[in-house]
A and B are shown apart, each in its own frame.
Chain A
Amino acid sequence: MNGAERPTLAVFKFASCDGCQLSLLDCEDELLALAGAVRIAHFTEMSRTRVEGPYDVALVEGSISTPEDAVRIVEVRAASRRLVTIGACATAGGIQGLRNFAAHGEYLGTVYAHPEYVSSLETSTPIADHVAVDYELHGCPIDRGQLLEVLTAALAGRRPVIAGHSVCQECKGRGTVCVLVARGTPCLGPVTRAGCGALCPAVDRGCFGCFGPADTANTESLGGRLVGDGLAPADLARLFRTFNANAGPFREASLAQERVAVSLGSTRVGPSRGVGR
C-alpha cells in the first residue's frame, strides 16, 4: 500500500487513563477503513511503527502534569499541522486536576514513599494552556461517533459539526423523563455539554458532567435550584468537582459552593482543606 500519499495521523498520550484513544480502537466497524484512508504514523498503543513528523492530524489525549510533558507537548505541536485534543484530561486537566485545589506536597506523600523520585508539577492543566489547539473534543470519555466526525472534518479541512448545547436537549430528543423535575434527582444536564446521548438520565441517574460545561452554562441558576431542592452546598461543590473540575464554569461553581459550605461549617468538600487556592 502506498502510504506516502495518504494524510498522516498521530496519537499522543499525556496524563490519562487511555480511554479516549481506546475509543479510536473501539471504532470496530471503521478502524480498517480509517487505516486505509490515513497513514497511522504514530500511535504507540496500537503500533511499533513510528514515523517522524510532521503529521497532518495529531490527536492528543491527557493533561500536562510533569515538567517533561510540558516540554514534549511543544514538540508535538511543532510536528503537527492540526492538533485536536480529546477528552476531559486534555481539554480540562482531568480528574488528576483535583490537585489544583489542594496542596501538591500533600498528594505526593500520600501515594509515594519517596517523593524525591517523582517528577510532577503542582497542577494538571489542559493542553490549550500550553500550546495552540485547533479543536477540542470533550468527554470523559469522548464519544466515538463525535471522534469520527472530528477526524473526517480534519481530513476534509472543515470545522467539525459538534453541538455545544446541553444534555437536556438530548434527553428531550430521546424522550427521557426529566429526572430533576420528576424525581428531584440532582442532575448537571442543564449545564453539561451534549455528546454522550444523555446516558445517565436514561438509567434513572442524574448527569454528573462527564462532557464538561455547555457553551452557555448557567451554573448559578442550576445551583440555586439544586440547593433549594435540599442538596447540601458541599455535595453540590463535589458534584461540579470531578473530571472537568477545572473547566471554567464548573471550577467557579464548585469554589462558590465550597465557600457557602465552609460558611455553614462544613469542611469536607474534597479534596481541599478549606477554600481552594
Chain B
Amino acid sequence: MTHGGNGNRTIGVDGLARVEGEGSLRIEVHDGQVVDVALEIFEPPRYFEALLRGRRHTEAPDITARICGICPVAYQMSACAAIEAACGVEVDDRITALRRLLYCGEWLQSHALHVYLLHAPDFLGCADAVELAERDRAAVTRGLDLKRTGNLVMATIGGRAVHPVNVRTGGFYRAPSVAEVQGLAEPLRRARDAALATVEWVSGFEFPDVEGDYRFVALHHDTNYPIESGRVVSSDGLDTTPAGFADLVVEEHVARSTALHARLAGRDAYLTGPLARYALNQATLPAVAREAAGRAGLGPVCTNPFRSIVVRSVELVVACEEALRLVAAYEPPEPPARDVPPAAGAGTGATEAPRGLLFHRYVLDAEGFIEEARIVPPTSQNQLTIEADLALVAAGGLDLSDADLSWRCEQAVRNHDPCISCAAHFLEVAVVRS
C-alpha cells in the first residue's frame, strides 16, 4: 500500500461491503489529480427483460419482485402501474391508499436497514452494526425495532416481508380487515418516536465538507410526498409523465458494468433518491418531518451527499407519519382488486423505491402477453452521479492514507444506498495512484 500524498496512486476496494450486491470501486490518481473513477458492477446478469417476454401481464409483479429482495414492493408497484397503464385501468382510491401503506412499510424496513446497519457504522468508525452494538446497543436496538415495524407492515398488508404474496395487478388478492390494519397503529406510533430519535442521532454525526452539483429527479405529487405515484420533475425544470420521462432516459452499456448507465437526453447525469425527493417535494413534507429536518439543521435542499443519512432518517419520519394517517383512515377496498383485462399497447409505471425512482415499461399484445419489457432501477440512473461524487470526494481526500481514502470512497458510494442486485442488473473499491 502506498502512503497518502499528492503523487500517483491507484486505490481499489474489491468487494465493496454494506451494499446490496456485488461491485467494486477504482480510483486513479496521477500527479495529484484524480484522472479516473469507476464503479464496476460484477453482479451476474439475470436477464429479466428477456425472461418476461411471453409471460402474461398478470405475472409481472411477482417475477419482477425477484429482482430485489430489499425493495420487492417497489418492483411490484411499478409493474402494476405500468401494466394498468397499458390496459387502461385505473384503481380506486382505497386500493391506492393500501398500496401506499404497504410501500411505507418497505421504506421503513429499507431505510432502517441502510441507516443503522449499512451507513451509520461508517460515521462511527465501526466495521459493522455488531461492532456498533458493542458501543451503543440502544441505538442498534432502536434501528432493529424500526426495521421490525416496517416488516410488520409489509407482512400485515402484503402477506410476507420479503417478496409479498398479496399484490396483484389491479390491487390485492385479499383486503386486510380493519382490525388487522388498526393493529399497526401502536407499533407505528413507537416507530415514529424512534424515527424522530434517529434524525436527532444522525444529525450529530461529523460530515465531510462536500457539496455535489446535482440534477435532482423525483416524482412529484400535489398533495402527498411522492411514494407510489406522481409526475416526474427535475431541479432544472423538467415536468413530465412517467411515459414522457421513459422516452428521455438513454441507457448505455459500458464494459465495466453489467448495469446499464442512464442519462437524460439533452441533460446528462442525474440523481434520484432521498436527496432528490426531499429537495423537490418540500411542500408535501408532513409537518412533523419538516420540523425534525429543521431541528437537524437541514435546509430545504441538501447537496452534501454524506448528509443523505439525515434526509433518509427524515424520510423514516415521513413513512411512519404517512402510514399512521393511512391506518387511521383505512377502509377495505371492495372488491380488493379491479379487473385488468388485457389490451394491446404500451404502459409505463414509475414509483419511488427507497433508493430512488424505478420505472417499468411494458408492451403487451391483445391477449396480455408481454412483448417487450424495460426496467430501469434507481442505481442505474444514479451510477454516473455516484462516479462524479467519487471524483469529488477523492479529490478532496488526497491527503488521507490509502486505507482512509478507500473507506471514505466506499462511504461516498454507500451515501446513495446503491442496490447492485437491482442494477445488474453492482460493488468492489480500487484507488490507483501511479
Contact = CB atoms under 8 A, between A and B. Distances in A.
Contact of A271 (B50, B113, B165): B50
Interface in A79-112: 94-96, 98-99, 102, 106-108, 110-112
Contacts of B49: 110-111
B174 A26 contact: no
A22 interface: yes
Nearest to B129: A46
Contacts of A25: 113, 117, 147
B63 interface: yes
Interface in B58-112: 59, 62-63, 66-70, 72
B255 A114 contact: yes
A205 B163 contact: no
Most interface-central of B50, B159, B253, B410 (chain A CB within 10 A): B50
Contact of A202 (B70, B133, B144, B159): B159
Contact of B174 (A28, A98, A204): A204
Q: How large is the interface on B (under 10, 10 to 19, 20 to 34, 35 or more residues)?
A: 35 or more
B336 to A, nearest CB: 8
A49 B161 CA distance: 28
Given A23-B162, A28-B148, A203-B165, A107 B140 contact: no
A111 B166 contact: no
Contacts of A204: 173-174
Given A45-B20, A120-B44, A26 B147 contact: yes
B59 A117 contact: no
B127 interface: yes
A28 B117 CA distance: 11
Contacts of A271: 50-51, 53-55
Contact of A117 (B118, B129, B144, B255): B255
B21 interface: yes
A31 B148 CA distance: 12
A117 B56 CA distance: 31
A108 B258 CA distance: 11
A58 interface: no
Contacts of B163: 19, 140-141, 210
Contact of B18 (A23, A48, A208): A48
Interface in A11-32: 13-23, 25-26, 28-29, 31-32
B397 interface: no
B46 interface: yes
B117 A242 contact: no
A143 B53 CA distance: 30
A78 to B, nearest CB: 18
Contacts of A140: 66, 163
A7 B130 CA distance: 16
Given A47-B18, A111-B50, A270-B54, A1 B253 contact: no
A40 B419 CA distance: 22
Nearest to B420: A18
A29 B152 CA distance: 13
Contact of A110 (B22, B53, B151, B174): B53
A22 B421 CA distance: 12
A269 B68 CA distance: 25
A45 B145 contact: no
Contacts of B141: 32
B17 interface: yes
Nearest to A206: B173
B270 interface: no
B254 interface: yes
A99 B144 contact: no
A216 interface: no
Interface in B149-192: 151, 159-163, 165-166, 168, 172-174
B332 interface: no
Interface in B117-148: 117-118, 121, 127-131, 133-134, 137, 140-141, 144-145, 147-148
Contacts of B151: 26, 28
A218 interface: no
Given A40-B130, A46-B129, A141-B162, A268 B253 contact: no
A152 interface: no
Given A26-B147, A95-B66, A117-B255, A44 B17 contact: yes
A168 interface: no
A196 interface: yes
B369 interface: yes
Interface string B399-434: 000000001001000000001010000000000000
Nearest to B145: A28
A118 interface: yes
A271 B42 CA distance: 25
11 contacts: A13-B22, A17-B69, A19-B72, A20-B162, A22-B162, A43-B128, A106-B50, A108-B50, A110-B47, A205-B174, A268-B54
Given A45-B19, A140-B163, A238-B59, 13 more contacts: A17-B72, A21-B69, A40-B130, A46-B118, A99-B51, A107-B47, A110-B47, A110-B50, A111-B49, A112-B45, A196-B160, A199-B159, A203-B174
A-B pairs with the 8 shortest C-beta distances? Answer: A19-B69, A270-B54, A47-B128, A110-B50, A107-B50, A15-B44, A96-B46, A28-B144
Interface of A: 1, 13-23, 25-26, 28-29, 31-32, 35, 40, 43-50, 62, 65-66, 68-69, 94-96, 98-99, 102, 106-108, 110-114, 117-118, 120, 124, 140-141, 196, 199-200, 202-205, 208, 210, 235, 238, 242-243, 268-272
